[in-house]
Amino acid sequence: APSGYKVDIAARTPPYAKLVARLAEVRRVLGASRPLTLAEKILYSHLERPEESLLSGTNNGKDIRGKANLKLKPDRVAMQDASAQMALLQFMSCGLPSTAVPASIHCDHMIVGEKGADTDLPNSIAGNKEVFDFLESAAKKYGIEFWPPGAGIIHQSVLENYSAPGLMMLGTDSHTPNAGGLGAIAIGVGGADAVDALVDAPWELKAPKVLGVRLEGELSGWASPKDVILSLAGQLTVRGGTGYIIEYFGPGVESLSCTGMATMANMGAEVGATTSLFPFSPSHIPYLEATHRGPIAQAALKVASAPMLSNLLRADPEAQYDKVITINLSTLEPHINGPFTPDLSTPLSKFKSVVEEKKWPTTFGAGLIGSCTNSSYQDMTRSEDIVKQAEAAGLKPKADFFITPGSEQIRATLDRDSTLSTFSAAGGTVLANACGPCIGQWTRTDGPAKGESNAIFTSYNRNFPGRNDGNRATMNFLASPELITAMSYTGSTTFNPMTDSIPTPSGTPFRFTPPKGSDLPSQGFAQGNVEFLPTPGIPDPSVSVVVDPHSTRLALLEPFSPFPQSELKGLRILYKVQGQCTTDTISAAGPWLKYKGHLPNISANTLIGAVNAETGEVNTAYDLDGTTSSIPDLAQRWRDSGVEWIVVAEHNYGEGSAREHAALQPRYLGGRIILAKSFARIHETNLKKQGVVPLTFAKEADYDVLRACDDVETRGLLDVLLSGGKGDVELVVKGRDGRETVVKTRHTLSEDQCGFVLAGSALNLLAAQGRE
């Protein structure tokens, strides 16, 4: 093992004594008779000052959910390699010697899947060496555990090592809620939010509502935990969980494996939920023990056996949910979701007729199982059972078959127990323990040309167009690994392994029996290659973090300038955006991902998807003299000549994701104000954190009178900022034709956020506070 590696159980055990004491304080503020959901117990016991948060913006604490502004102190942070770059660059500008809470970095997103782990991993390491070296040196310097490329996918490694009942953590990835399978509140955030936790500043969250999912009965046969969430996604749709924590409860929870619960929690992200959560359950104990964390299981057991009022790990019996959905596991059918959206859910028994009716392809080219969502011992042994049944009947898969283990621990265990050799002997390709095809890092060799309609089946979690192979016409259908494995033996999308048989070489028709597997390996987990163990989380100030000044992939951040001690004058409207403007429109992904650690380079994609409201053109901006250029080019030219700018937009500006680059880039290029009809909440917060002022029209019709290149002056903004958010802002707009309009606006700047804007960014403020 790397020198000094030792699992520090104490650092991985949630601070139960402190949390239970906080829970008592929460009870005192809210009244002992008020029943709490489990999500509320864990979340509120992580409040910095419970009384202040629970009474903020609420009717004396009566209507907290959806109203109160929670200031939280998470226990830990996890970051994946793509998003960790900007998180660390921001953390570094605060000048602190180490992180305030334990943290980990997982190198998984930048590794391709093509020929198999043995060639793909070294190739990917060579292609991203500079970035991996940066992450490793920063991790060593600041005391962050660094899991090298090949060690595993962030969510699987977190489940095996860090998640625990009652823990609260942030992760810079949208499927961070996977850790909720082991009873943690785990929330996906952008890098700037992770930095809040890393520097010990409170992290803010509007108190979520709680959606209760009551599970009854028990899964059997072909039905798996994946099918529970696939069917729930169909009921809730991709927006149905927005603003909610999904809290599972009821007798059905007891029968689920810990890893099965993680699969369900993982895909709560697909319905927009803040996170998903399971109560401390019987299967958590053997899972914690098998993953070398027996003392954490014992500590959790003790907390869970406390009397109800101080019981942190169970919901109160009378807990009230904002909505309840009941699912009977005993009657649940396997489901297949897709294409192109995870909420288009079809029960297996109807899938054939839907394929025929919708004219979807009747064959599929590849079946891909594993990933952060579904690579547990249970998933893989159930799939192995299917492969063995088919082998015995003399069958071989008709579709390409890929297996992505979620971590080195699970890979080595499956290797020892011959599961992987069973897959390989059947013609399967075992990919690296990394994201690979799940995040578009897939060099596909089975045929279809770009743009050609075709189908694949994956046990992953997302199926947006182009996500896996870059071909927007590829239909990705989501299903359980065991179902995909069985279907791969026919390569037919209309095959139902529960009812249909396959002709065999001997002529006798063969029918699968329902898969059987084991929740946990009987011989325990194997450790695997010690080179994949993490570096210890002990800061070493002697390490220097080197960023080559000529690098195209990484650039140190320069602090943004503070707000002037005056109103803003001489601003110019850069662009008037028409219609939808998502974080993808503002900061595109795909090939730009490689510049995530280089703000100047990635800024060249700023708003390149935006439609010009005056001409209908995309990414075409007009300068004062009528010449045209791309939006980022004009923004940069104006910034270089000392002109700051504003963007005018329509509804829900910044919808889509927490991508902080969508706020950082406009700020870097000289953006000061975004004036929109409305904002997506997370993006609005991100803008304020970077010192950009989001304003909304008091009268939407004013959108129509504004033009690109109009001159804008603020009136009242400085007073709003100095008074901690009181009052409104007017914009005095002068057109080049002499027209003058006063646009009344609204804002949602809180006192803290006014501080961010005045300092130039939240980071500037944190850095200044760190110096005090």
Active-site residue set = 108-109, 173, 462, 657, 659
Instruction: Tell me the C-alpha to C-alpha distance, in Å, between residue 647 and each of 1, 287, 547, 621, 765.
Output: 53, 51, 33, 11, 25
Q: Does 438 bind ligand F3S (CB under 6 A)?
A: yes
3-class DSSP assignment, residue 275: strand
Name all contacts of 46-54 with Cβ < 8 Å and 24+ positions apart: 46/19, 46/22, 46/72, 46/73, 46/74, 46/75, 46/168, 46/185, 47/22, 47/71, 47/72, 47/73, 48/72, 48/73, 48/202, 50/22, 50/25, 50/26, 51/25, 54/26, 54/29, 54/30
Q: Is 271 among the residues that bind ligand F3S (CB under 6 A)?
A: no
Binding mask 148-177 for ligand F3S (x = CB under 6 A): -----xxx-----------------x-x--
The span from the CA of 397 to the CA of 400, in Å, is: 7
User: Which residue type occupies 337?
Assistant: N
Return the range that interacts with ligand F3S (CB under 6 A); candidates 196-204, 243-251, 308-316, 434-442: 434-442
H or E element in which residue 122 lies? helix 117-127
Q: How far is the CB of 80 from ligand F3S (least distance, A)?
A: 6
Task: Pick between residue 304 and residue 439 the one whose CB is nearest to ligand F3S.
Answer: 439
| Shortest Å distance, C-beta 155 to ligand F3S | 6
Token code pair at residue 751: 């006192």
What is the nearest approach in angstroms of ligand F3S to the Cβ of residue 763?
A: 26
Rounded to whole angstroms, the Cα distance separating 596 from 577 reads 24
**Which of residues 185, 435, 574, 706 is near ligand F3S by CB under 6 A?**
435
Q: Closest CB to ligand F3S among 182 and 613? A: 182
Judged by beta carbon, residue 87 or residue 439, the one nearer ligand F3S is: 439
Across the beta sheet with 185-188, the strand order is 145-147, 103-106, 76-80, 168-171, 185-188
Record the tokens describing residue 168, joined without a space.
């609260």
Task: Provide, rounded to whole angstroms, the least separation between the CB of residue 152 and ligand F3S.
Answer: 10
How big is the chain, counted in residues?
Answer: 772
How do beta strands 693-697 and 740-746 pair?
antiparallel
Give the Cα separation of 189 and 238 in Å (integer): 18
Q: Determine which residue in the list 461, 476, 696, 764 makes contact with ligand F3S, applying CB under 6 A.
A: 461
Residue 668 and residue 646 in contact, taking contact as beta carbons nearer than 8 Å: no
* Contacts with ligand F3S, 174-193, as mask; x by CB under 6 A: -x------------------
Residue 53 or residue 378: which is nearer to ligand F3S going by CB?
378
User: CB 367 → ligand F3S: shortest distance, Å?
Assistant: 16
Contact positions with ligand F3S (CB under 6 A) in 688-717: none
- Stretch binding ligand F3S (CB under 6 A), from 95-103, 147-155, 343-351, 743-751: 147-155
Span of 41-49, 203-211, 433-441, 705-713 interacting with ligand F3S by CB under 6 A: 433-441
Q: 266, 373 in Cβ contact below 8 A?
A: yes
CB 312 within 8 A of CB 23: yes
Angle between helices 117-127 and 129-142 (to 10 degrees): 80
371 binds ligand F3S (CB under 6 A): yes
- Could you tell me which of 650, 658, 597, 607 has the C-alpha nearest to residue 630? 607
Q: Looking at beta carbons only, is 39 or 589 nearer to ligand F3S?
A: 589
Q: How far is the CB of 172 from ligand F3S (least distance, A)?
A: 11
Stretch that binds ligand F3S, among 27-35, 413-421, 435-443, 639-647 (CB under 6 A): 435-443
The CB-of-128 to ligand F3S minimum distance in angstroms stands at: 15
Q: Does 492 bind ligand F3S (CB under 6 A)?
A: no
Question: Cβ closer to ligand F3S: 229 or 611?
Answer: 229
Q: Which helix (H) or strand (E) holds 732?
A: strand 730-734
Q: Which residues pair with 78 in a beta bridge?
A: 104, 171
Query: Under the criterion CB under 6 A, does residue 439 sit at the interface with ligand F3S?
Result: yes
Q: In angstroms, what is the C-alpha Rg of the chain?
A: 26
Binding to ligand F3S (CB under 6 A): which residues in 629-648? none
The answer to whether residue 103 forms part of the interface with ligand F3S (CB under 6 A) is no
Q: By rule CB under 6 A, what count of residues binds ligand F3S?
A: 13
Contact 245, 281 (CB under 8 A): no
Please state, in angstroms and as integers, the Cα–Cα distance from residue 461 to each residue in 183, 264, 312, 406, following that order: 20, 10, 30, 13
Smallest distance from ligand F3S to CB 393, Å: 32
Q: Does 403 bind ligand F3S (CB under 6 A)?
A: no
Q: Which residue, 113 or 252, is less far from ligand F3S as judged by CB?
A: 113
CB of 610 to ligand F3S, least distance (A): 27
> 374-393: which residues touch ligand F3S (CB under 6 A)?
none
CB of 291 or CB of 461, closer to ligand F3S: 461
Alpha-helix runs per DSSP H in 207-336: 225-236, 258-266, 284-290, 294-304
Q: Which is nearer to ligand F3S, 461 or 535 (CB)?
A: 461
Q: What is the smallest separation between the CB atom of 460 and ligand F3S, expressed in angstroms?
A: 6
| Among 111, 198, 372, 635, contact with ligand F3S (rule: CB under 6 A) | 372
Stretch that binds ligand F3S, among 132-140, 383-391, 431-439, 763-771 (CB under 6 A): 431-439
Map tokens 């994201």 to a residue: 435
Neighbour tally for 694: CB within 10 Å: 25
Six token digits for residue 660: 């902080």
Q: Does 276 bind ligand F3S (CB under 6 A)?
A: no
Point out which residues bind ligand F3S (CB under 6 A): 108, 153-155, 173, 175, 371-372, 435, 438-439, 460-461
